Amino acid sequence: HLDDRLLPVDEDGEEDELGADGRIHFAKDKLYGRDEELAKCQELFDANESPAVVFLSGYSGSGKSRMVEEFVHLNSSTMKDDKSGRRPPILFLRSKSDSADGNVPFSSIGGLFDNIDKSASVEFMDMRDVIQETLGTDARLLLKVFPKLETFLNNDSMKRPSMRASFSSGSDSASISSSVVLSSGKQKDTKKRLMLALQFFFRTLSSRSKRPLVLFLDDLQWVDGLSMELIQSILTDNMIPNLFFFGGYRSNEVGEDHILTKSLQDIMDKRDEKGLNGDICIELKDLRQEAVGQFIADSLRLSYDEALPLTNAIFTKTLGNPFFTRQALEHLVRKNALYYDNITFRWDWKLQEKELRDLISDDLLEMVKAKIEHMEPKLQEVLMTAACTRTKFDAETILVLLHPKLLRKRQALSDMRPSEEEYKEEKKSLIDLLNQAVVEGLLVAPQAEKPTRTTVRYSIGVFESYEDTEEEYAFAHDKIQETARSLICDGDEFQFLERVGNILYQRAQCPLYGEDWMVFTACEHLNRVSVQYKTVPSEKEEETKADSLEKEKQSRLATLNLRAAELSIDVLAFPAALDFCEHGIEYLPTDDEELWSEKYKDTALNLFSIAAQAKYGVGDNTAAERYCNHVLGQRMGDNPKVTMIEALPAFQVFLDIVGDRGDKHTALVLCMEILSDLGIRVPKHTRKLRAKVWWSLKKIRKRYLPTEESVQSMPQVMDAVVVYKMELIQKASSLAYSAEKTYLYMLLNCESVKLISKHGLTDTSAASIASFANVLMHVHNDFKTSQRLAELAILIADRQQSKFNETQPLNTANGLILAWVRPLSSRLKYHQRAYESGMVSGNVNGGMVGKWYGLQNSLFSCPITLPELEGEMRAGIAETRKLGQPYVGNIGCILWQLVLNLIGKSGNPNTTKLIGEAMDETTELYQQKEPVLLGAWKSMALLFFADYEGGAELALQRGDLFETKFAGMMYGYDSILRAIPLFVMARSDNSQRTKYKKEAKKLLKRARTWVTKGCINLIGPHQLIEAEYMVLQKKAKAAQSHFELAISSCRKGNFHQFSGLSCELYSDYLSEIGDSKGSQIYLQGAIDDYRRWGAARKVDFLKHKVAHIAG
């Protein structure tokens, strides 16, 4: 790319300006022929559009990388601000795709932080607290993609137990895939969490960095799918400021069906939808002859006219491609057609233009090949070996590939063990060869800060040394790598690849040097070789030695592909994981008896389980279920070959599949079946179940209730089987709650608390404690203990810092428990936190539930007016629909329609009918699927628009449906909303009077109990129904006293709706007893309170009533 990194340097570090060493010193510090393209980029950069996007396309060698480097250089040296006259240099992060890494998840973007300078590292350290506070333990997901960030983001609390580690340390089962660590959420949800964490990271990086952020991703023609998804999310995010993005790709290798083509169109379409400007596509065509001529003239220190014959010859062959222009010049030097004249001290040639042209091959890569073949054989072998790894490599790995005996003894392919001296000699020889390749322009040595003194981790041992062992090199161009690999003889290629693959596999297992890319590269090579040399088993009855060796080889390949699949599923790379699983399964025996024998069972279990997860992850539930059945089928019969614990990962996927079908009953039955095998027994008969629940509750309250002190000392559970059991209990508890299986729900929560007390905390412990507190409050009316446990659940959520998992305990603790004993307005911040945690972590359902809890509480606690609340509800419904949450949206629409009725925008003249813009109460959706919540908000509409008869009839009809739902504070308010019309109608002369009175007194008794227990949010409304009861009892003074207490208490608590209702009902009572003046005063008070609430329709309703009285 005409890059100054390729320039050879003499011993004194100064360039030989004249080229007396026989090498061309190519021109640097100048970019040729790209002024127009640079100007377009500069114009976009100066416009401050963000995120700004530039896609550079062009043939290989057209200079895409060099142009970006020049852009960064120009803006780093000339940027200024208004105050100091200088702006900090650009923060430049770059990565590139590798043709060998196509199946490696996030390989295209994973190298962005491989070389972070000191100034950037300070910025990352400054961002750490913000990232960890917002993402919590989901910050650990960043390290899966950018392991180099571990120094800045890592934290012990970010570790999570591995199922494999649990069994390898002595459990009663064999190894189970580490992919089961994702059991805290569906695979799809976890992938969403990962993408959101990455997106938030770039938001933070771009917004908090004190300098412009420039990202450059090169060779996107080889981009992997996950990197492309992340790129799309970043470039279409209008919350990422200060970002300038370059993407480079080869236009001739990207067709209409290429992933990049489709993604580019999607990016542009989404940016248009969001009104994002500042995106251009630039095609870098080959340089014009004038630019090529000037480059050649500057490189040879000649004038343009002097170099013109040489320019014409080279341009005719290379057509202006910068990379091949350089190769052509070097080729002519090797052919002695272009030489440095030591007499005239200048470059010269004697051949005519046509003769020069004939020396340059039409196959331009042949020039590169000839250059490598011109070098000594040892260097050729080094380059061929390096070409079989990846574009960027370290010297130590190449050393081991060339000399397998240098592997650690326990991993070596032979019994030879070299001495330290032999190692150092071989290493020095290799470094000399690699540096020679750098001088020749074939490799580059990225500049990195060298350690002052380190403990050198040699392959053969550990020694103290001042030497640097982290020498890293990269091919100067991928065409050079491609050419070097082509030098491997066709007949030897597969043997060569097999040797490299086997050694890389061995090295990948080294805890000091093993890297994930080695596993993927070894897989690629060995899978390719296996297909080429696939053998047919012997037809003899007895297994031959060759058959035995082949089986061992196939077994090793299956294990290797399993490891690659584990690495892929760990970052939710479903297609890659599936590909490795399918390869691995092909290497396993086809005979079921042999497949599930002790020799192959562990590998088969993990391959089928991960394949099921991968298929589920890409949305192919049918194929996922088929893979699950391969495992679950082995549990059938009298002698099952797979234990329940071994089958857990497959069961987990199968549970999710059943859940997606909406078959919650089957999912619950399956959960209970698994839990039964894990030791959680549930009586089948209702009477026995009820007895066990009460016995368990008594035992829990006596022995297992956690305290703040005990929680502080509880460990994080590291046994993955226990983690899975506790998470499965929580899942079954949620299903039992939805199915209204109250006693099963209670028993499961008791079991959760016992396990927490015995083993410690997991990500779902906070939700379990909150659910148990819910049981104590609504079954035992134990407000004191449930309040303490709810606060403890929030404390645990704070400690766990799992944004994905904290939404449920926050919603349960605040919406169902603490809302009874704490001011409603104090709970709003926790509902907002649940919403924000859900949105940032991908737990959309939990987040939206938190949002609607907050909106529901706002309706009662009145922190804002109804019109303001309606605006938030309208936006919330739109967001809910966009995020695909129909259940939450349907519930929200009921509340929204009620608010529309109250403010006079219902769209229908009947204020007590929930029909209008938001919903239609007469539809089947609400009548059959949401009768409880529809009835609650319908009761409120009837009460506040004074349809007491309709409210009383509905109250009798509905009964106590809320009680079985553990509905929290809404249950309390619903009891008030039902009691008031019942009392009003009980003192009227009608046939239902006795029923009204009986039901009303039951609700009053319940309200008294709640207030006595400490429910501060019902104090005012409770006084109101006490007043109505006194009216019914014809105790005028007591009634008036309670009305006054209700009004003052509601106004003190900012409950405008209940203070208005109290004034309105008191006005009616005063009118009944003949106090018309008092009646008018309190009626005006009601109008004032409703006006503060923002209920314009209700205000108009009362104004008509005032006018009627006055008339």
Residue 629 has pLDDT above 60, yes or no: yes
pLDDT at residue 740 tops 90 = no
pLDDT at 7: 39
pLDDT of 4 reads 42
Higher-confidence position of 714 and 180: 714
pLDDT band at 922 (very low <50, low <70, confident <90, very high): confident
- The rounded distance, in Å, linking the Cα atoms of 691 and 597 is 44
pLDDT at residue 1095, rounded to an integer: 95
C-beta pairs of 552-557 under 8 Å, 24+ apart in sequence: 554/530, 554/587, 554/588, 555/587, 555/599, 555/600, 555/603, 556/505, 557/526, 557/527, 557/530, 557/583, 557/584, 557/587
What value does the mean pLDDT take over residues 151-175?
A: 43
887: confidence class by pLDDT, cuts 50, 70, 90: confident
What was the pLDDT predicted at 957?
Answer: 87
Q: Reply yes or no on whether the pLDDT at 640 is more than 80.
A: yes
Indicate the SS3 state at residue 246. Answer: strand
Q: How far apart are CA 252 and CA 64, in angstroms?
A: 14
Q: Note the pLDDT tens digit of each residue in 145-156.
A: 887 777 766 554
Stretch 973-987: mean pLDDT: 91
Q: Which helix (H) or strand (E) holds 735?
A: helix 720-738
729 or 541, greater pLDDT = 729
Nearest Cα neighbor of 187 from 748, 827, 842 is 842
Max mean pLDDT among 60-64, 352-356, 378-382, 910-914 falls in 378-382
pLDDT at res. 318: 86
The strand ranges marked E within 596-684 are: none
Lowest mean pLDDT among 422-436, 651-665, 1003-1017: 651-665
Q: What's residue 1026's pLDDT? A: 96
Q: Specify the pLDDT at position 192.
A: 74
Tokens read off for 925: 């959706």
Rounded Cα–Cα distance for residues 128 and 204 (Å): 10
pLDDT for 154 equals 58
Residue 279 has a pLDDT of 87
3-class DSSP assignment, residue 315 = helix
Share of the chain above pLDDT 70, in %: 86
pLDDT > 60? residue 83: no
User: How much is the pLDDT for 1078?
Assistant: 92
Query: Mean of the pLDDT values across residues 771-784?
Result: 86
183-240 pLDDT per residue, tens:
434 555 667 777 888 888 888 888 777 788 899 999 999 888 888 988 998 898 888 8
Q: Taking a C-beta distance cutoff of 8 angstroms, is the pair 45, 75 a contact?
A: yes
pLDDT digits (tens, 9 = 90+) for 2-26: 444 333 444 444 444 556 677 888 8
Helix (H), strand (E), coil (C) string for 559-571: HHHHHHHHHHHHC
Q: What is the pLDDT of residue 416?
A: 47
Q: CA-to-CA distance for 969 and 1018, rounded, in angstroms?
A: 9
Higher pLDDT, 389 or 965: 389
Mapping DSSP to helix (H, G, I), strand (E, B) and coil, where does residue 473 land?
strand
- Tokens for 636, please give them: 């059938």
Give percent helix, percent strand, percent coil of the chain, each to the nearest 5: 65, 5, 30
- Indicate the DSSP class of residue 61: T
Q: Two tokens at 48?
A: 């401050």
Give me 757's structure tokens: 């007390």
How many CB atoms are closer than 10 A to CB 412?
19
Confidence of residue 961 (pLDDT cuts 50, 70, 90): low
DSSP bridge partners of 966? none
Residue, of 276 and 1, whose pLDDT is higher: 276
pLDDT at site 810: 94
pLDDT band, very low/low/confident/very high, at 461 (cuts 50, 70, 90): very low
User: Distance (Å, rounded) from C-alpha 423 to C-alpha 405?
Assistant: 10
Token representation of residue 979: 């009691």
Q: Which pLDDT score, from 0 to 100, does residue 535 have?
A: 54
Band of residue 181 on the pLDDT scale cut at 50, 70, 90 = very low
Strand order in the sheet with 243-250: 91-96, 213-218, 243-250, 52-58, 279-284
Q: What is the mean pLDDT of residues 871-878?
A: 94
Top pLDDT among 450 and 780 is at 780
Rounded mean pLDDT, 755-784: 89
Summarize pLDDT for 575-606 with one digit per residue, the tens.
889 999 999 999 999 888 889 999 999 999 99
Q: Write down the pLDDT at residue 451.
A: 37
pLDDT at 1100: 92
Q: What is the pLDDT of residue 1082?
A: 95
Q: What is the DSSP letter of 81?
A: -
Q: Rank 57-71, 842-856, 871-885, 1053-1067 by mean pLDDT and report only the highest.
A: 1053-1067
Measure the CA–CA gap between 1069 and 1078, rounded to whole angstroms: 10
Question: Which of the two residues, 571 and 1064, has the higher pLDDT score?
Answer: 1064
Most confident of 96-105, 697-706, 907-916: 697-706
- Residue labelled with tokens 């020694």: 463
At residue 56, φ and ψ (nearest 5 deg) are: -105, 125
Question: 60 is written with which tokens?
Answer: 């290989």
What are the DSSP E strand ranges found in 329-448?
Answer: 339-341, 346-348, 392-394, 443-444
Query: How high is the pLDDT of residue 800?
Result: 77
The span from the CA of 302 to the CA of 28, in Å, is: 15
Task: Give residue 105's pLDDT.
Answer: 82
State the chain's mean pLDDT as an integer.
Answer: 83
* Alpha carbon distance 448, 1068 (integer Å): 84
How far is it, in rounded angstroms, from Cα 293 to Cα 468? 42
Q: Would you list the DSSP string of 988-1005?
A: SSSTTHHHHHHHHHHHHH
Residue range 516-536: mean pLDDT, rounded: 82
464, pLDDT greater than 50:
no
Owner of token pair 């060339």: 402
Q: pLDDT band for position 799 (50/70/90)?
A: confident
- Is residue 925 pLDDT above 70, yes or no? no
pTM, two decimals, is 0.73
pLDDT of residue 542: 57
End-to-end, the C-alpha distance of the chain in Å comes to 93
Find out whether 37 and 71 touch, Cβ atoms under 8 Å.
Answer: no
What does the alpha-carbon distance between residue 774 and residue 787 come to, in Å, rounded to a whole number? 9
* Inter-CA distances, 627 with 592, 607, 653, 1103, Å: 14, 9, 10, 69
Q: What is the largest CA-CA distance in the chain?
A: 128
Locate tokens 């991703």: which residue?
A: 217
Write out the two tokens for 739.
């199915």
Place of tokens 């070596």: 412
Mean pLDDT calculated for residue range 242-251: 91
